[in-house]
């Protein structure tokens, strides 16, 4: 998937950026980080609420809290949700996902966010976009999935 860029506008002030923007190991920008952080924090809020709701439901036998927290977002969110659901069924534990998201937020603070914990290479931005809390690049995630 390539993001379409409007190329009509020519910027008069040229910064020290090189004309070739593509290439392996594209770094995530500070602006990306900010939006990832926001999304992670939103997810954390939703999941924490759900977790609390589940625990309450377990305790009281009443229904878990309903949907409505999620929603409005389309596109990426769908993809994100799909893999998240898979994570949930895999781990069967909401708390684990909450931990992952907290870890991702901590890595943003540390400045190590977006790097694969196995090979140390930058994680594909498309992957991070779909799964902001991931700690593995696509290749290592596949390798790990196969190893299971
Ligand atoms: Zn890797």
Enumerate the domain spans of the chain: 30-63+93-147
Q: How far is CA 87 from CA 12, 63, 120, 121, in A?
A: 47, 22, 23, 23
d(CA 63, CA 13): 58
Which pLDDT score is estimated for 90?
41
What topology does CATH give the domain 30-63+93-147? 1.20.120
Average pLDDT taken over every residue of the chain: 76
pLDDT band at 11, cuts 50/70/90? very low
Interval between CA 55 and ligand 1 midpoint (Å): 35
| Best CA proximity match to 123, nearest among 108, 135, 111 | 135
Query: Distance from the CA of 117 to the center of ligand 1, in angstroms?
Result: 7
SS3 state at 122: strand
Both tokens of residue 55?
A: 């625990």
Contact 98, 106 (CB under 8 A): no
- For ligand 1, an ion, list residues with CB under 5 A: 116, 118-119, 137, 140
pTM above the 0.75 mark?
no
- 91 or 87, which is more confident? 87
Q: What is the pLDDT of residue 67?
A: 43
39, pLDDT greater than 50? yes
Query: What value does the mean pLDDT take over residues 38-67?
Result: 76
């Amino acid at each position: 998937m390539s993001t379409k860029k409007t190329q009509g506008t020519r910027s008069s002030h040229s910064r020290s950026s090189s004309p070739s923007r593509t290439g392996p190991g594209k770094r995530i920008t500070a602006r990306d980080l900010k939006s990832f952080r926001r999304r992670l924090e939103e997810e954390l809020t939703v999941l924490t609420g759900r977790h609390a709701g589940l625990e309450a439901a377990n305790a009281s036998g009443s229904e878990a809290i309903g949907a409505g927290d999620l929603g409005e977002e389309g596109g990426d969110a769908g993809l994100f949700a799909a893999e998240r659901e898979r994570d949930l069924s895999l781990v069967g534990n909401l708390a684990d996902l909450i931990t992952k998201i907290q870890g991702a937020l901590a890595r943003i603070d540390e400045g190590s966010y977006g790097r694969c914990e196995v090979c140390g290479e930058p994680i594909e931005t498309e992957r991070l976009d779909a799964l902001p809390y991931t700690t593995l690049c696509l290749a290592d995630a596949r390798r790990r999935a196969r190893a299971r």
